[in-house]
Structure 1
């Protein structure tokens, strides 16, 4: 069960609660069983699941209702609070206190370490830091070229020598090179290890002595589930200054297991990988993560993505608000879908909006780059009037547009159908009073559950 499926299962359990006319002990126990099932299918440790759901059930049955809140709202709040506590309570960040800050990354081979380093470099670059990367992986052929290729589009420099076999020498020389260039952050990529943690920890110790990093970062593959516990524990015992990136959480069947296993060791998760693109790395904040997982949204995260996008492109919050209200034409639709793609996968963006992530049909969000390109070609063959007023497009116009764009009548109809479906859907969302979603989330928002 991928994390998206875990979110759907948890969201479904809470919607069952919201639809109940009477919230009695039987309903509460049924919802708790659904939550248990969802977590266990996501490979979370059974004992941890039982402890967690016992606390949820006990609080739901025994706690006195706070003033001004319904029992349904109170139980959802309990689930949110307990899951947040379960995953670590507070967000922890990598602190950039001095220039340059040196970060050392380690990880088992195949954990996604090299990709994560590129993502981390891009993350800091977008926040105004000048970043340099040092590749000391002398074991894996092509590691240097892979890292270089990943960050080349962003003009991030990589120091390395594929012919050099001495990782310690590469680390020293790379750090010295970037210190002379006055970069803000130096990220050192070490070689991955095949099997056990002993070699990993030993390499970390040797390179650490050579370059004296401010922080050591362990990259853990989210697909290994509960096995992440041993890696995280060994790492935590070896260094008190470490942090962890959990990768491959976008499609992992064991993502919940990996996250909960790492948290159980007390080691700090600071980032999670949520996609294949270099942009798909996000700080791990248990509150915001659980909020999205339950379908409660993450307006703060959405606004941060808008802010990032507006720095690089002409994009305003009011444009998104117009889109959400269903008051857009074909030109607007293309501009917003293209902009949102730059923010990340559309599905992930919509999960930041309370009540929308799991209610939006898949066909609305599966607008890949190829379809967007085709849509653009089709729209280039339309008149300005047709773009502004798509309702005037009849069959004869469709045939003309198809001929002019080198596409088929079916392709043009698909574009118009996509437009009409999205417009209808967002208008419907607006009727359910979700226009307030453009505001920051000041507290729990239960609109997505129909409460």
Structure 2
């Protein structure tokens, strides 16, 4: 601890342990005594089931629990057992985990969590992920401002940066699950590999765009057959993939032009429709699981 005295926050992650293993409980009591934490969180697997009650009770007795973090929510489990742990310890849910990266940790919001349990999406968490991904992409691309897409010409540069931002938002199935009307039964109707295929397609498009010149990226209309063949050779793909990319670009361009023509009232009505579970919205203009 002394080696990191200048840090604002210390996170001590102890090894996983079972509540009934006395030696491990004794160890965590000793760690608690040495560290003297401001806050202690119990991390529980979403699939733990009824075993959460005994585990939470034992940890509460040993060191006191200030909150619970539910992990592995990217699987089929919904976290019901973890809710029992919250009730038993009279604490609260602090964070939700849905993957292996820092970006997959979310602050707990009761309304959004319940909505996702019911297959109704979570627009608030979706908006936070979009904002964070856009900010990170903007920091990486110094001369790019996402707001310009809403005011001026939509180019392949914008499309590439949008795809980079989407990749930062995490697995596509998690993102889709946050959209009202897209979770639950509708997602179950798609092929098992639909999301993986879509993300692979997006990565192929990024490789293709890396083989384009700056002029082609800012003015795709200049890409004729000869340029398509040159780009395909550089990217190691068939010419048909270049044509798919350009068709996708045109669809996204039309979607952005629709947004540019919307007033505040139109945008609010669209969001209300999504919150009511009706889906809607142009999104990525076909980049989702319904693309070819």
* Fold match by TM threshold 0.5: yes
Q: Residue 311 of structure 1: CA displacement?
A: 7.9
Which residue in the other structure is 1:286 paired with? 110
Which residue in the other structure is 1:436 paired with? 267
Query: What aligned pairs does 1:318-397 form with structure 2 within 5 A after superposition?
Result: 318=147, 328-349=154-175, 367-368=198-199, 371-372=201-202, 374-390=204-220, 393-397=223-227
1:435–1:382: structure 2 CA closer, same or farther, 3 Å change rule?
A: farther
Which residue in the other structure is 2:290 paired with? none
Equivalent-residue separation in structure 2 for 1:399 and 1:225 (angstroms) = 56
Equivalent-residue separation in structure 2 for 1:364 and 1:422 (angstroms) = 19
Which residue in the other structure is 2:132 paired with? 305
1:402–1:312: structure 2 CA closer, same or farther, 3 Å change rule?
A: closer
1:211 matches 2:211: no
Deviates more, 1:297-306 or 1:182-191: 297-306
1:246·1:271 contact (CA, 8 Å) conserved in 2?
Answer: yes
Which structure 1 residue ranges, 5 or more long, are not aligned? 1-174
Picking from 12, 16, 41, the partner of 1:192 is 16
1:378–1:336: structure 2 CA closer, same or farther, 3 Å change rule?
A: same
Query: What aligned pairs does 1:27-426 form with structure 2 within 5 A after superposition?
Result: 175-179=1-5, 182-193=6-17, 196=20, 198-251=22-75, 253-265=76-88, 266-291=90-115, 293-295=119-121, 297-298=123-124, 301-302=128-129, 305=132, 309=136, 312-313=139-140, 314=142, 316=145, 318=147, 328-349=154-175, 367-368=198-199, 371-372=201-202, 374-390=204-220, 393-420=223-250, 422=252
Deviations 1:215-239 (A, max 9, x none): 2222212232343333223223434
Equivalent-residue separation in structure 2 for 1:410 and 1:430 (angstroms) = 30
1:258–1:390: structure 2 CA closer, same or farther, 3 Å change rule?
A: farther
1:388–1:274: structure 2 CA closer, same or farther, 3 Å change rule?
A: same
Q: Any idea what SS the aligned residue of 1:214 has?
A: coil
Q: Any idea what SS the aligned residue of 1:206 has?
A: helix
1:438–1:197: structure 2 CA closer, same or farther, 3 Å change rule?
A: farther
Q: Any idea what SS the aligned residue of 2:94 has?
A: strand
Q: Residue 284 of structure 1: CA displacement?
A: 1.3
Say what the alpha-carbon RMSD is for the aligned residues. 4.3
Equivalent-residue separation in structure 2 for 1:271 and 1:263 (angstroms) = 12
Where relative contact order (Cα < 8 A, 6+ residues apart) is larger, the structure is 1
Equivalent-residue separation in structure 2 for 1:363 and 1:419 (angstroms) = 20
Alignment: residue pair count: 268
Equivalent-residue separation in structure 1 for 2:46 and 2:223 (angstroms) = 48
Query: Rg bigger for which structure?
Result: 1
1:350·1:357 contact (CA, 8 Å) conserved in 2?
Answer: yes
Q: Residue 178 of structure 1: CA displacement?
A: 2.2
1:271–1:303: structure 2 CA closer, same or farther, 3 Å change rule?
A: same
Q: Any idea what SS the aligned residue of 2:95 has?
A: strand
Deviations 1:140-164 (A, max 9, x none): xxxxxxxxxxxxxxxxxxxxxxxxx
2:96·2:107 contact (CA, 8 Å) conserved in 1?
Answer: yes
Q: Residue 336 of structure 1: CA displacement?
A: 1.0
1:306–1:279: structure 2 CA closer, same or farther, 3 Å change rule?
A: closer
Equivalent-residue separation in structure 2 for 1:347 and 1:178 (angstroms) = 38
Q: Residue 192 of structure 1: CA displacement?
A: 2.7
1:223·1:255 contact (CA, 8 Å) conserved in 2?
Answer: yes
1:355·1:449 contact (CA, 8 Å) conserved in 2?
Answer: yes
1:400–1:178: structure 2 CA closer, same or farther, 3 Å change rule?
A: closer
Picking from 238, 252, 275, the partner of 1:446 is 275
Q: Any idea what SS the aligned residue of 2:48 has?
A: helix
Equivalent-residue separation in structure 1 for 2:55 and 2:269 (angstroms) = 41
Equivalent-residue separation in structure 1 for 2:167 and 2:62 (angstroms) = 40
Deviations 1:125-179 (A, max 9, x none): xxxxxxxxxxxxxxxxxxxxxxxxxxxxxxxxxxxxxxxxxxxxxxxxxx23323
1:449–1:429: structure 2 CA closer, same or farther, 3 Å change rule?
A: farther
